[in-house]
Structure 1
Amino acid sequence: MAGQSGSQDPSVAPLPLTQTQHDELDRTLPDTSSPTPKLPQDTDEILYDSFSSPYIGRAADSFYEYLTNNNIDFRTSSKSYYGKFCSIVQSSGTGKSRLILELRKKGVLVLYMNLRELSDRGFPNRDPVPARILTECTTDCTEAEYTARCYAFFTAIFQVLLWDLGSKIPALDSRNLDAEIKAWNDDMCDMRSEARTKFFEMVDSQYNLVLKSPRQSFVKQAFRDMVQAMPHIFAAREKRNEDAPKLVIAFDEAYPLNKLNSHDIRLSRILCSVISSYSRDNTPMWVVFASTTSQVADFPPPQMIQNSMRVVQSGNSSYPPYHALGWDQFATPLGDISANDVAKFYHIVGFGRPLWKSLMPNGGVLKLAGQKLCDSIAFDSMATNQALAVLAQRFALDIRFGHRDTVSYIKTAVASHLRVCFSTTENGLWSDTFHPSEPFLSCVAAMLLHQSPDNLPNVLHVLENRIHSGMVEIGQRGELTSRLLLLLAKDLFIRRNPPETAIQHLLYNGSEHAELLDCQKVSVVGFLEYLFGTAFWSDSEAGEEAKTALQHAYINFTHWITMEEFISPADGDFEELGSARCDPDEWTLRHWHRTSAVQCCPLQPLVDKMIPIYFDDPSLGSDLKRMSQIFISDKVGRISNIGDPGHDTTRAHYSIECQSDLPYITLLLDLNVDSDPQLSATYLKRDPSHPETGQCLRIYASGMSDTTFSFLNQHPPVAKGLQEILSRQKEVPSQTIHQALRSTMRDMRWEA
């Protein structure tokens, strides 16, 4: 799963920033506070219904445990935490809102508030009362005035919670108490319920009364009154769950709180100073901020005392954001669909973030996904962030630490271009982020790349500039160049004569059983002929025999994902992997099902890449028995022997172990050759001394030229772009080691 910003190189690790530097940096970053493009109006009903569908996955259990552990740390840790608040930082469509609301199924009281801006028509809808109080009319608000607003708001919240809950949940036995909590939660977590509307009307009324003379003592007293009046809710019934969350106040779409107003105050920091003022006891009540912007997690205590309100802050630690939202929740189980049907829209849309499957009834989901990926109504192929987003989704771009633009790019990409945040350092300065395997979004990115003749050359030019600046890694052996070459060749091959029945445009509005063009199976024989030229079969030693052996072989990859372990893990790793371990046939078939090709981990012996092959021959038996592979080695910078006709045990190597009776292909790419490009192929029949290796077509290709790669003749702008990227590889060798790669055996078991 592509391109991370996680593991730090100590030689380029930054010094901590002061608060002034933090604010100055924020002013120079692209504006990430605006939401992604609007959802079409009819999707509002679809998403509303999706919030009542059965919840899939264990993210809610994990989040419940995260809050419990936070409370334990607050109560017992030697650290001095700033307050009982934390955050969920993740890109759009990953299920943040549903996760928060799902806590009610764990017996937690959930008070959900959406603070999205008035112009944002997304779902869940904006809650006007809290949004107006906390985010509107604050441009010229002084620190003291906004602090007063926050005191009054939380005082009103606690008072209304006491009145509302106190009248509905008296001191009942545990069975009736659970039923009453469920009924209250069901009302308050239904975005259209009258009870929810009335609750916030009471909050608004009480807020206006308290605002006339707000004090810190008021919010503390209101909090104590609420907790003491309802011990049956806030006191643990059992010692073992005393730290389990009892009440969660959630601010969703919290990005408006990140702004600096005309007085250079950040609203979120004042809001959190108020939360800190009352949350000093052990009561397991938490405030959760959810947003696509990483700044929502940046809540250091202020560096000065607020004299006007006589607030003295203590503590200097905050909790790391929660990132472990679900992935592939709607993916079709491996045995429930034929390998011949994996290109179907309903299957591909199930992988990745849950938003796509939720919106599948809306025919505009392809167009919406394109707009979300670009953060724009139309794709601008010369805009750096848009171009990088489209490329990163498919080609596993590796963003280099230490570059001056890396931090701003990562923040913008998560907030506005669907990049996923995996973890954040404790000081909040660095995030581990990537574009994970998401075949539906990869198809959308492919459509954007090829919707105009200028798009592909333009994005390659943007990429070349970013490589030249040192922001994007090429790889130690030119891995990026060959990823681009092979997948772009497949893109252009299938677009020569696309079938009319295939989905190939963002405006598609048809059947869910239609097939996505980029996921359809492609003949290996035809692809190799397109890649290397029409004379490939007749002029090579491989000849008609190899062509016949591969006549039923197909590929279907739409994107590259990266690995963090050998294809076949060492014996010592078996126990750790446990049931997550796949046998080689299943591992290859799972990549076929999600239309992914593999960039191996840097230490993988013999090979650098793998592309799944499927043999569409019913006589071979089940799909598991029809899988083979193309193994690729980037020869640049190291000695490789997979192209050596005398080396015939590639897939039998202990680190690979993909034995099969079916033919396979090994491809040695030596792209860095400047002169005398060569292309040769040999076909090795089964060796009786190594029956496990099967027949093998071995191809050696050197140089980036239309002599070796014939298809470049037909696409001069693409050839020029790839050659410029290759020239950067020769001038600027890779400076870092590719680490924190994303594909593991566990990742490939999406049913779990």
Structure 2
Amino acid sequence: YYKCLEQLTKTKQLPEEDPLEIQIVRDSFEKVTTVSNEIFKISPEDYLYSKIENCWKSGAEIYGYFTLLFQASGFGKSRACQNLKNKAYVVYCCLRPTTHSGYPLRSFFANNLVSIFYNEIEAKKCFIGYFNMFISFLNDNPDITHEEFYKKFSNSFSGNKSSNEHYEEIKFEITELAKKYSFTDELIDLKDNKKEVIFVFDEVRSLFVDLTRSDKTFTSNYFEIRNVITKFNKTNKIFVLFLDTFSGLTNFMPTKFNEPSMRMQKFKSAEPIYLLPNWDVFVDIESIKTPKDSLIFENICSFGRPLWGSWCKAKKLNEKYKQVLDSQLVVIAKQKLVGGNLVDATNLNINQILAIAGCRIGTVKPLLISTAQDLVSKHMAICTYANPNEGIFKIEFPSEPILADVAASIMNETVKYQNQIESSVYKLIVNKLHSAISSSVIDQGEKGETITKFILLYSYDLSAQHLKTEGPLRYSSYVRVIDFVRNLYGNKAIEIIKEQLKNRAKILLDGFVRFNHFIRSPVSKDELNLVNLMKRCCAVQCHRYQKGVDFVIPVVLSYDKNSFNKMSAILVQTKLHQNVSKPKKEDIEKIMLSELDSPHLAIFMQLGNSNKPELTNLNFNLGNKAVIYSEGISTMTFPYLCSETINELNVFSTTQKQSFLVDKLDILIEEEIVFSSNNVKKK
């Protein structure tokens, strides 16, 4: 580790003072108190520690005391690992490349760990030296506390000293440590078996160096470190966590040449960790008492991953941060969603399209592992299941109002599409989704529901564009029902509602909708909490087996301080049938929520092929329920949708997966193999 020391002390010092925007990010990471999830009553670090404890208890069954912690950006992985200092002795090392900005900062330990070594022996010596340095220190300082140990070697900033002063302290500590302990190529045992030590390597993809060398059998630094870890005395409670965002998942899968003895097959690997109880931790839903409260920027940002809420909390820590506009967080959200700076929306790639659409209409299921991996590592999708050894994982785009608002702003940009007339990005997104289904990049899923969500969101967005808004989140606004319905179906729909509801129509039409994205409901439609959905700025797609209703859009009937006591809803049933027939009265009666006695609207949207697109008043007398029935996807039914978007939606409605094969005989052979067509079809 003298080589490590030499490189370490030559590290370029950090700037004396960062811009305010970066200081807020730093403070949000280091100074905002970690909040426990109210539902599970457990902090992220306690959850992580329980996983590590289970591994220690498995003892000899485990190949090595290490595992992977994979998740998207902003999920609180790094903070949870650093907070393990309250449970154990923690050595945290961020391996972020020197060319990359971001937080946590690259650790002072990182330089030598990511080097390219001449051979495996040199690599192992370095990594053994790294571990021994801290274990030896603990053996010689048995009374040091977890907190004292962490502060001594952490590159976190206390806020009382400049980054340069802190750098000098770390440099001094490591210099003294390296001088004191003699070199050995064997791992040192921890003398006190009651002590627990956790090593954390963050941004671990940096350990996978692109090796351009003749020795093709030389493994990556990651596998060399893993091999060293397996030699730890298992009576010692030493554990290693590798953190990443799913970048290069296949890199983490061991191959035969990494384990020539095949020892790994005789043991269990510790299960990777991909979930943390970190969702909605900054939400105080009961404190949002009025529609005005729900529009407060901090309340909107409290939903979802902790990144947004902690930034808002950090902004309140210092008076100087008042200079930083809330729009700065919106810029960060946009950059993270599209994976960098978006210069020209016409050049969005397919993964950016899937991310923008996904955080509004719900997860678009990728069929390719590489696509799903990219969406997590670069575009804010959340991993909900991971098994790197098997190459399996599932992703979701859960409910995050700030991301949905950012996506809406991109979708409503005006671009020149395919050198033709200007139109919104909506058209481009539908076109790309159609292409992705055709080429089997994504699953075609529920096409009718997907089209309906696009149309409903477009109408909401169009209404929001004409509002005067105070904050940077335009697409989280309250929109009058009369404007939303008019932008959906035109003035004829307003007349239908007035004719059916008579003097009660004004109550409904003067109400408000507020939804910039859809979420899937885990409960029946009658169990939905309309007030909390409104606070979250979302509408609901009912679960697949729910009869009568596909979508529920909450409506608040007034905007005063008691308005959440006056709720209604717009209920939508959608069909994509080629053989069109008007619904009967009993069909419409099923479009209902129990105990909804206020005036409300039921929409029956038939999107299938129709020779005569129309908007119809069915003249059913259903009391407080107004009913609108529409057929087809055309400007006759949706007058404010541009003709180009209409055409794209119609093409999308008939999209089928296409064979990669070109030769007709090859296609027939493929069909026979896949479907056993000759036996299945009637002759």
TM-score by length of 1: 0.73
Whole-angstrom distance in 2 between the partners of 1:680 and 1:125: 61
Which stretch of the first structure deviates more once superposed, 406-415 or 633-642?
Answer: 633-642
SS at match of 1:365: helix
Of 434, 437, 440, the residue aligned with 2:402 is 440
Whole-angstrom distance in 2 between the partners of 1:703 and 1:466: 24
Q: 1:603 to 1:40 in 2, by over 3 A?
A: farther
User: Do the aligned partners of 1:152 and 1:207 also contact (CA within 8 Å) in 2?
Assistant: no
Whole-angstrom distance in 2 between the partners of 1:208 and 1:719: 72
Q: 1:40 to 1:632 in 2, by over 3 A?
A: farther
* Structure 2 unaligned residues grouped into runs of 5+: 1-16, 37-42, 159-164, 316-323, 417-424, 660-683
Q: Following superposition of structure 1 onto structure 2, how do residues 321-360 of structure 1 map, counting pairs within 5 Å? A: 321-325=272-276, 326-360=278-312
Of 455, 467, 473, the residue aligned with 1:498 is 467
User: Do the aligned partners of 1:421 and 1:431 also contact (CA within 8 Å) in 2?
Assistant: yes
Give the aligned partner of residue 237 of structure 2: 284
Q: 1:305 to 1:437 in 2, by over 3 A?
A: closer
Of 116, 123, 130, the residue aligned with 1:153 is 130
Give the aligned partner of residue 60 of structure 1: 45
Q: 1:374 to 1:564 in 2, by over 3 A?
A: same
Of 509, 515, 519, the residue aligned with 2:476 is 519
User: Do the aligned partners of 2:95 and 2:106 also contact (CA within 8 Å) in 1?
Assistant: yes
Whole-angstrom distance in 2 between the partners of 1:191 and 1:425: 32
Whole-angstrom distance in 2 between the partners of 1:352 and 1:399: 20
User: Do the aligned partners of 1:651 and 1:659 also contact (CA within 8 Å) in 2?
Assistant: no
Which stretch of the first structure deviates more once superposed, 559-568 or 40-49?
Answer: 40-49
Give the aligned partner of residue 711 of structure 1: 640
Give the aligned partner of residue 598 of structure 1: 540
User: Do the aligned partners of 2:607 and 2:633 also contact (CA within 8 Å) in 1?
Assistant: yes
User: Do the aligned partners of 1:273 and 1:301 also contact (CA within 8 Å) in 2?
Assistant: no
Whole-angstrom distance in 2 between the partners of 1:723 and 1:675: 13
* Structure 1 unaligned residues grouped into runs of 5+: 1-38, 170-179, 235-245, 509-515, 569-582, 688-694, 733-752
Paired residues in the alignment total 602
Give the aligned partner of residue 359 of structure 2: 393
Whole-angstrom distance in 2 between the partners of 1:305 and 1:610: 53
User: Do the aligned partners of 1:670 and 1:701 also contact (CA within 8 Å) in 2?
Assistant: yes
SS at match of 1:473: coil
1:149-203 deviations in whole A, cap 9, x for unaligned? 223322333223434x33x44xxxxxxxxxx333333554561367896566555
TM superposition shift of 1:320: 2.5
Which stretch of the first structure deviates more once superposed, 327-336 or 630-639?
Answer: 630-639
1:1-25 deviations in whole A, cap 9, x for unaligned? xxxxxxxxxxxxxxxxxxxxxxxxx
SS at match of 2:64: coil
Of 406, 411, 414, the residue aligned with 1:449 is 411
Give the aligned partner of residue 460 of structure 1: 430
Q: 1:209 to 1:623 in 2, by over 3 A?
A: same
Give the aligned partner of residue 318 of structure 1: 269
User: Do the aligned partners of 2:515 and 2:538 also contact (CA within 8 Å) in 1?
Assistant: yes
| Paired letter, 2:393 | S
TM superposition shift of 1:319: 2.2
SS at match of 1:73: helix
| Paired letter, 1:52 | K
1:307-357 deviations in whole A, cap 9, x for unaligned? 9xx997674532222223201111232343313432232210111112122
Q: Does 1:558 align with 2:516?
A: yes
Give the aligned partner of residue 625 of structure 2: 696
Which stretch of the first structure deviates more once superposed, 467-476 or 607-616?
Answer: 467-476
SS at match of 1:277: coil
User: Do the aligned partners of 1:542 and 1:682 also contact (CA within 8 Å) in 2?
Assistant: no
RMSD: 3.3
User: Do the aligned partners of 2:554 and 2:567 also contact (CA within 8 Å) in 1?
Assistant: yes
Of 586, 593, 613, the residue aligned with 2:555 is 613
Q: 1:204 to 1:641 in 2, by over 3 A?
A: farther
Q: Following superposition of structure 1 onto structure 2, how do residues 115-126 of structure 1 map, counting pairs within 5 Å? A: 115-126=95-106
Whole-angstrom distance in 1 between the partners of 2:105 and 2:350: 31
User: Do the aligned partners of 1:339 and 1:623 also contact (CA within 8 Å) in 2?
Assistant: yes
Q: Does 1:133 align with 2:112?
A: yes
Give the aligned partner of residue 666 of structure 2: none
TM superposition shift of 1:377: 1.4
Whole-angstrom distance in 1 between the partners of 2:628 and 2:33: 50
Whole-angstrom distance in 2 between the partners of 1:539 and 1:296: 55
User: Do the aligned partners of 2:515 and 2:553 also contact (CA within 8 Å) in 1?
Assistant: yes
Give the aligned partner of residue 42 of structure 1: 20
Whole-angstrom distance in 2 between the partners of 1:617 and 1:644: 36
Q: Following superposition of structure 1 onto structure 2, how do residues 715-730 of structure 1 map, counting pairs within 5 Å? A: 715-728=642-655
| Paired letter, 2:519 | I
TM superposition shift of 1:487: 0.6
User: Do the aligned partners of 1:87 and 1:297 also contact (CA within 8 Å) in 2?
Assistant: no
Whole-angstrom distance in 2 between the partners of 1:414 and 1:90: 7
1:196-254 deviations in whole A, cap 9, x for unaligned? 9656655567669999x763xx11xx1x1xx22x35x42xxxxxxxxxxx221111122
1:579-617 deviations in whole A, cap 9, x for unaligned? xxxx54xx1111101111111211111111111111116
Give the aligned partner of residue 205 of structure 2: 255
Q: Following superposition of structure 1 onto structure 2, how do residues 192-203 of structure 1 map, counting pairs within 5 Å? A: 192=157, 198=169, 203=174
1:406-440 deviations in whole A, cap 9, x for unaligned? 11111111111111111213734111111110001
1:40-81 deviations in whole A, cap 9, x for unaligned? 842332233332332101222211211111222335xxxx43
Q: Following superposition of structure 1 onto structure 2, how do residues 211-230 of structure 1 map, counting pairs within 5 Å? A: 215=185, 218-219=186-187, 222=188, 224=189, 227-228=190-191, 230=192
| Paired letter, 1:421 | C
User: Do the aligned partners of 1:681 and 1:697 also contact (CA within 8 Å) in 2?
Assistant: no
SS at match of 1:87: strand
Give the aligned partner of residue 668 of structure 1: 604
| Paired letter, 1:427 | N
TM superposition shift of 1:555: 0.7
Whole-angstrom distance in 2 between the partners of 1:203 and 1:544: 80
User: Do the aligned partners of 1:350 and 1:356 also contact (CA within 8 Å) in 2?
Assistant: yes
SS at match of 1:288: strand
User: Do the aligned partners of 1:91 and 1:420 also contact (CA within 8 Å) in 2?
Assistant: yes
Q: 1:552 to 1:533 in 2, by over 3 A?
A: closer
SS at match of 1:542: helix
SS at match of 1:378: coil
TM superposition shift of 1:296: 6.3
Whole-angstrom distance in 1 between the partners of 2:59 and 2:150: 26
Whole-angstrom distance in 2 between the partners of 1:622 and 1:93: 35
Whole-angstrom distance in 2 between the partners of 1:651 and 1:340: 30
Q: Following superposition of structure 1 onto structure 2, how do residues 674-685 of structure 1 map, counting pairs within 5 Å? A: 674-682=610-618
TM-score by length of 2: 0.80
TM superposition shift of 1:565: 3.9
How high is the sequence identity, in percent, across the aligned residues? 22
User: Do the aligned partners of 1:331 and 1:351 also contact (CA within 8 Å) in 2?
Assistant: yes
